[in-house]
Structure 1
């Protein structure tokens, strides 16, 4: 278990690099003298790079020793963050953000590795623990990024993150155990097999749809909420979005519980609750446009509900995916996470556009649409198929 907790910490450090730009958008816009909508493209660029990295690099988790692969990617990420923190223009920052997203993909490599270290009846609990680490990274990175961006400028979060990532690479190079890769396939075959598995496995496609939709809603909300809080309705600083993220720290406690429920009841039962919760969260979030104490309460409750729904649904979906073909978990996770982050990148882009054209109500409507489509698909499936059973 100490190894699992260390891996959870690594997930948090790596995943934080994808999310702290959401809280830095207002500071970045001011620092580079660009519009907020233009600055929000950094979020989209990072998530698009992350989706590409999952597709191109995560399959290597089935081919290369995990310690060597994880440490190398962390070092490359640290170098990219240093370059981002010194970028002279938005164009350069966008290009480097794609590179950072591309290499900071150790969490989806760690997940399949950890799943292979434990028995099947503990897989939900371990997945939930790793996701708690990732959630901690998401929350703390947004909180710290917002505060650093407001006090020291937008470059500070990138430089601090670079130091954390390089420090973690040094630690893991010393303590991470060696593992034996399960596949000897050549790289082109590994990448191609992720696409083949997506075509061949209906349950993989279903999990991909659920997570892409809900993560799209999540990304749309968190990309736009910094603009809402720093805009005329609230007039708060960039640190407000980070503080809002920190309020949602309770999400870290929910994913291990969700993992235990998946182990007991199966993924479908947990998915139903999570998808319904995501739809309800969009309605609660709409109150955020009112401003004042009532609006802040709506934002706190709505983002908390959406975070819990997205992360708990991730546990259910990943447990379903990991149970399909144990010998190809990294390739299965490649297809799953690529779809999830493609949905997230689309949500960030559409969320920024919705906010620019229709304000906060447009963002909430977009989140409701994404989540509602996934819920409708799930309800249609459960009416026509027997319920899933706990993973054995």
Structure 2
């Protein structure tokens, strides 16, 4: 009887421990909203490329460098800022990123020439990695059996930010010009930083106070010691190269069809399927279905380029293709994060930072390649290249699925 009572009290303690480690729905929503605003700063530029080109008197063929500068800053932040989440109070770190983002966005809004804009966007990308700090923070707060679901919920905020960024930035640009987009973003980042400071408690340091250099070197060590990170990282590089190729270059043929910024931005709303996939992908990972779901999503990604290629024939087919592409990309993305964090949760920030380097590199390469391909050979060349990259991702998954 005493044993039974002991077992009951033990099981109750276990349940309470799990429940205590679960972030509340309010905290998950705050994390998702902050991620949405941070990531929106990276993608808000894409519908504005033509306006920025005309305003700053820059050739459209090199406007992809604005996207590349942002993604380069993001990559630097992933390597040198995100790992600090395993060492310092995450609340202070997040708020510092948000406040510095306000300054960077204001500089972008006031940029008088392309060089200044590129420098400002480099900083915007650098500080937007606060989203990855929040993903790692949420993963640490969640119980192991619910980690994928929580990561998926927070990632759905990132996806929402990506798709709303295009729509909202296009609408604001039509009403007040492209500079107003960045001023608005600066105000929103300031507001969310104040909310975060009021709502979130301070967090304990996760690791011994090792030197900054040791912390950064440990990120590179993860590339060597964690095979799951390498495999999933390569998949991420390929799928986000695809993602960037379509979203960076799509504005050009749509603009050539005389569509205003608002209508171009509305195509981003088709990506709501990506937010749905982000919330479902984590559940599939928690249930042990991540590998199978990854393969099916990559096959869907490859097929998505068929309707996307019909942009100049049917906008409805384009929407269908975008839905397919966003759903596939975000499914694989969430599963990837869930799997790599599950292997070593105490290094969540460093793992996410290392993993997202592949994302940033793929996005940068996809963006610059797509704008150059479109300038040289038109929309169909972008679609052929995108389909080829998707097929490579599917083949790579097939070859490594058992290892």
TM class, shorter-length: over 0.9
Which of 276, 283, 297 is equivalent to 1:274? 297
Indicate the SS of the match to 1:64: coil
1:17 aligned to 2:41? yes
The CA deviation at 1:240 is 2.6
1:226 aligned to 2:245? no
Indicate the SS of the match to 1:370: helix
Cα distance in structure 1, aligned partners of 2:118 and 2:263: 24
Which of 301, 319, 323 is equivalent to 1:304? 323
- Give the conservation status (yes or no) of the 8 Å contact 1:148–1:154: yes
* Residues 378-389 of structure 1 mapped to structure 2, 5 A cutoff: 378-382=397-401, 384-385=402-403
Cα distance in structure 2, aligned partners of 1:154 and 1:103: 21
Q: In angstroms, what is the RMSD of aligned CA positions?
A: 1.2
Residue 357 (structure 2) aligns with: 338
Cα distance in structure 1, aligned partners of 2:286 and 2:342: 12
- Give the conservation status (yes or no) of the 8 Å contact 2:274–2:328: no
Cα distance in structure 2, aligned partners of 1:202 and 1:102: 27
1:259 aligned to 2:279? no
Residue 345 (structure 2) aligns with: 326
- Give the conservation status (yes or no) of the 8 Å contact 2:297–2:329: yes
Which blocks of at least 5 consecutive residues in structure 1 are unaligned? 386-392
Indicate the SS of the match to 2:230: helix
Task: Output one character per residue of 1:275-333: Cα deviation in whole Å (capped at 9) or x when no partner.
Answer: 1111111122111133xxx2x01211111111111111111000111012122111111
Cα distance in structure 2, aligned partners of 1:247 and 1:334: 28
Cα distance in structure 1, aligned partners of 2:57 and 2:43: 22
Indicate the SS of the match to 2:359: helix
Residue 239 (structure 1) aligns with: 262
The CA deviation at 1:81 is 0.2
- Give the conservation status (yes or no) of the 8 Å contact 1:47–1:341: yes
* Residues 73-84 of structure 1 mapped to structure 2, 5 A cutoff: 73-84=97-108
The count of residues paired between Structure 1 and Structure 2 equals: 378
Which blocks of at least 5 consecutive residues in structure 2 are unaligned? 1-23
- Give the conservation status (yes or no) of the 8 Å contact 2:274–2:329: no
* Residues 340-379 of structure 1 mapped to structure 2, 5 A cutoff: 340-379=359-398
Which of 223, 231, 249 is equivalent to 1:206? 231
The CA deviation at 1:107 is 1.0
Cα distance in structure 2, aligned partners of 1:347 and 1:157: 24
1:250 aligned to 2:273? yes
Cα distance in structure 1, aligned partners of 2:400 and 2:275: 29
TM-score (norm 2): 0.91
Indicate the SS of the match to 2:162: helix
The CA deviation at 1:8 is 0.8
